[in-house]
């Protein structure tokens, strides 16, 4: 019984798409969500990550930027 060939990284890059489109879309939507609170200019209004108290300066937009950095590394 022959063993099926495992595609290499080079084979994956030849296809022209990298399957990270969904991650990019989610990150873009998180950026829009994170900035929408600043655009609304309602004092004390924060997104769900900001309200959760994960840390100073952490909100959906900052997490989205980190996702973009990780995805761009691939």
Burial of residue 41 (CB within 10 Å: 0-12, 13-18, 19+) is exposed
Determine the pLDDT at residue 18: 64
Q: Is the pTM of this model over 0.85?
A: no
Q: What is the pLDDT of residues 29-65, one digit of tens each?
A: 988 888 887 788 878 777 777 778 787 878 888 888 8
The set of residues, in sequence order, having a beta carbon less than 8 Å from that of 41 and lying 6+ positions away, is: none
Cα 15 from Cα 39, distance rounded (Å)? 40
């Amino acid at each position: 019984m022959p063993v099926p060939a495992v595609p290499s990284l080079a084979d994956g890059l030849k296809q022209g798409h990298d399957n990270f489109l969904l991650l990019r879309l989610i990150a873009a939507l998180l950026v829009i969500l994170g900035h929408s609170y600043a655009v609304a200019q309602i004092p004390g209004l924060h997104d769900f990550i900001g309200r959760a108290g994960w840390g100073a300066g952490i909100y959906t937009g900052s997490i989205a930027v980190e996702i973009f950095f990780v995805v761009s590394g691939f």
